[in-house]
């Protein structure tokens, strides 16, 4: 069992290394790694690679981090190389000169790196990313990325865009590749919204639960980014495209949890000074009764509220909405900030295949990325 700094790596990572071990006598792989975006996830990834490097070398895989780019500065070459202004074009050219296979890891949440994925793949570099912008952005760009993957003989890995370290995309890909027919996919794929509805009840004001989540660091600086459901909308779009549906992001309707009158709210300077999250939470407090009624109505039926993304493959549709679910439903048993996805298929019926576990956090996200890097190797 693989462990890094006291934390277990996902089973998918363990299986990948085990597979490499079985073949260590027949090949040796050197991989040059470039990381774009060096925040919490990028730094955690670098630490995990460093901690496992010797063990992987013994298995015939040598991972070398040769380039790191932040928003304003980058470093190309060894850790002793001098910093220079970030230039993704120069970064790309540098990666082409590196020995062995190359993999570029995009740990940002920006469109600019995603615009370069096709050129990176065409040059022969694999791309690994938790960035949802490529998989859920313009369909034309997404198709260009997948075409470039085939043309360049490289690989585009994006497992961590949906469930951090959870094997959600790889499970779906295995179902499709082995000839199963997936009929529907449903799930809770936002750690923040999972936490909120695991804590919320008719006896606890909605605004206080949002405040609790913000204090714990689960929400974005502006909680509307979570409550608006766009993150779930992006993940649903990614899963739908993996199943062959040509959906644009706007084709997936979302039931926003932000009161309509607050969706265009512009905080004053005083409110910004007091804290954007705190100011927003004060704004939603008058709407607590609306959410309390929904929770009470669900409880009266022996049900619970959950924020669910759904894909109906038979009809080619997807949606994101708040649902009232029976207490024995798989989604009712989530804990803390769990993600959970249910796949209903010809093989998995009437009971779906369920993948559940922690779906957020730098450690599990970095471990999911690490697993994809090993797959690329």
Instruction: Please write the tens of the pLDDT for every residue from 89-120.
Output: 999 999 999 988 999 999 999 999 999 999 99
Residue 8, pLDDT score: 37
- Domains belonging to the chain, first-starting first, are 3-165+362-376 (3.40.50.720), 172-358 (3.30.360.10)
Enumerate the β-bridge partners of residue 65: 33
Q: For 270-311, what is each residue's pLDDT tens digit?
A: 999 999 999 999 999 999 999 999 999 999 999 999 999 999
Angle between helices 40-58 and 362-376 (to 10 degrees): 40
In whole angstroms, give the CA distance from residue 126 to residue 153.
9
- In Å, how far are 34, 75, 157, 232, 251 from 134, measured between CA atoms? 18, 25, 11, 15, 16
Residue 64, pLDDT score: 93
What's CA 62's distance to the chain center, in Å? 26
Q: Kindly name the residue from 101, 235, 294, 314 that is annotated as catalytic.
A: 235
Residue 335, pLDDT score: 87
Q: What percent of the chain has pLDDT over 70?
A: 92
Q: Which residues in the chain show pLDDT less than 70?
A: 1-28, 79
Q: Are 180 and 149 in contact (CB under 8 A)?
A: no
Is-catalytic flag, 235? yes
270: exposed, middle or buried (Cβ count in 10 Å: 0-12, 13-18, 19+) = exposed
In whole angstroms, give the CA distance from residue 136 to residue 129.
13
Average pLDDT of the chain is: 90
Q: For 6-29, what is each residue's pLDDT tens digit?
A: 333 444 444 444 443 344 334 468
Residue 162, pLDDT score: 93
End-to-end CA distance of the chain: 20
In this prediction the pTM is 0.88
Residue 9, pLDDT score: 40
Q: Are 304 and 315 in contact (CB under 8 A)?
A: no
Residue 29, pLDDT score: 80
């Amino acid at each position: 069992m693989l462990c890094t700094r006291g934390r277990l790596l996902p089973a998918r990572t363990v299986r990948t290394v085990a597979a490499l071990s079985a073949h260590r006598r027949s090949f040796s792989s050197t991989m040059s790694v470039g990381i774009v975006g060096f925040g919490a996830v990028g730094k955690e990834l670098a630490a995990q690679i460093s901690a496992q490097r010797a063990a992987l070398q013994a298995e015939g895989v040598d991972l070398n981090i040769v380039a790191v780019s932040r928003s304003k500065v980058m470093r190309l070459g060894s850790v002793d190389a001098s910093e220079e202004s970030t230039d993704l074009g120069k970064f790309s050219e540098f990666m082409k000169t590196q020995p062995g296979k190359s993999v570029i890891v995009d740990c940002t949440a920006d469109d600019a790196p995603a615009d370069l994925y096709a050129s990176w793949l065409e040059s022969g570099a694999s791309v690994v990313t938790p960035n949802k912008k490529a998989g859920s952005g313009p369909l034309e760009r997404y198709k260009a990325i997948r075409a470039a993957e085939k043309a360049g003989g490289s690989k585009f890995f994006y497992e961590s865009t949906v469930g951090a370290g959870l094997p959600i995309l790889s499970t779906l890909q295995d179902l499709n590749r082995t000839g199963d027919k997936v009929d529907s996919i449903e799930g809770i794929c936002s750690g923040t919204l999972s936490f909120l509805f695991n804590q919320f009840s008719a006896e606890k004001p909605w605004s206080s639960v949002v405040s609790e989540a913000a204090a714990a660091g689960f929400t974005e600086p502006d909680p509307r980014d979570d409550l608006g459901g766009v993150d779930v909308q992006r993940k649903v779009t990614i899963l739908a495209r993996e199943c062959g549906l040509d959906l644009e992001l706007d084709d997936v309707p979302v039931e926003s949890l932000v009161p309509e009158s607050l969706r265009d709210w512009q905080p004053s300077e005083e409110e910004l000074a007091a804290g954007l999250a705190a100011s927003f939470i004060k704004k939603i407090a008058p709407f607590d009764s609306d959410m309390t009624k929904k929770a009470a109505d669900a409880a009266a039926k022996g049900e619970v509220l959950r924020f669910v993304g759904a894909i109906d493959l038979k009809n080619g549709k997807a949606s994101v909405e708040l649902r009232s679910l029976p207490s024995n439903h798989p989604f009712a048993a989530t804990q803390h900030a769990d993600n959970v996805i249910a796949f209903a298929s010809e093989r998995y019926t009437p009971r779906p295949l369920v993948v559940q576990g922690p779906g957020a956090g730098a450690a599990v996200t970095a471990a999911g990325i690490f697993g994809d890097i090993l797959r690329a190797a």
